[in-house]
Amino acid sequence: MTPWLRHIAEWNPVSATVQACRVLFANPGQSPSDAWPMQHPVRASLIYSILILVVFRTLAVRKYRSATA
């Protein structure tokens, strides 16, 4: 894999969530990379989830207010 694509894959929220599932089910499989989300997948998954929730909740509330105004 090319270095720039590997960097994107390592910081992908789905990759962190899959790695978190592997850790929580005690099936680490292959050794993760040195990227922070792969070394701390549970924290990264929670941070990604909260960040996505905050961003899209804000957008949804703004869209709802403009539609009802």
Q: What is the DSSP string of 9-60?
A: HHT-HHHHHHHHHHHHTT---SPP-SSHHHHSHHHHHHHHHHHHHHHHHHHH
Q: The pTM is what? A: 0.81
pLDDT score for 29: 72
**Structure confidence at residue 21 as a pLDDT band (50, 70, 90):** very high
pLDDT score for 16: 92
Q: CA 64, CA 58: separation in Å to the nearest integer?
A: 10
Domain spans in the chain, listed from the N-terminal domain onward = 3-68
pLDDT score for 69: 84
**Mean pLDDT, residues 2-25 taken together:** 92
Least confident of 1-10, 26-35, 60-69: 26-35
pLDDT score for 20: 93
Residues 6 or more apart whose CB falls under 8 angstroms from that of 51 comprise none
